[in-house]
Amino acid sequence: MKTKKSAKAQNGKAVEAQGRESVKEMVLDSGIYSGEAVKLAAFVFSDRADIRIAPGKGVVKVSVRAEHAVRAAGEFLNEVLNQQCRIDLAKKNSKIAGIIVTKALLSAAGEK
Q: pLDDT of 59-90, one tens digit each? A: 999 999 999 999 999 999 999 999 999 999 99
Provide the sign of the torsion angle of the four alpha carbons 47, 48, 49, 51, taken in this order: negative
Write down the CATH number for the domain with range 4-108: 3.30.310
Q: If pLDDT is split at 50, 70 and 90, which confidence band does 110 have?
A: confident
Q: Tell me the pLDDT of the chain averaged across its residues.
A: 83
Q: What is the pLDDT of residue 13?
A: 45
Ramachandran assignment for 89, one of left (phi > 0), alpha (psi -120 to 50 degrees), beta (any other): alpha
Every domain of the chain and the residues it spans = 4-108
Does the predicted TM-score (pTM) go above 0.85? no
CB 63 within 8 A of CB 51: yes
Q: What spatial distance separates the first Cα and last Cα of the chain, rounded to whole Å?
A: 74
How many whole angstroms separate alpha carbon 26 and alpha carbon 112? 53
How many whole angstroms separate alpha carbon 78 and alpha carbon 16? 23
Provide the sign of the torsion angle of the four alpha carbons 68, 64, 32, 82, taken in this order: positive
φ, ψ (nearest 5 deg) of residue 111: -95, 160
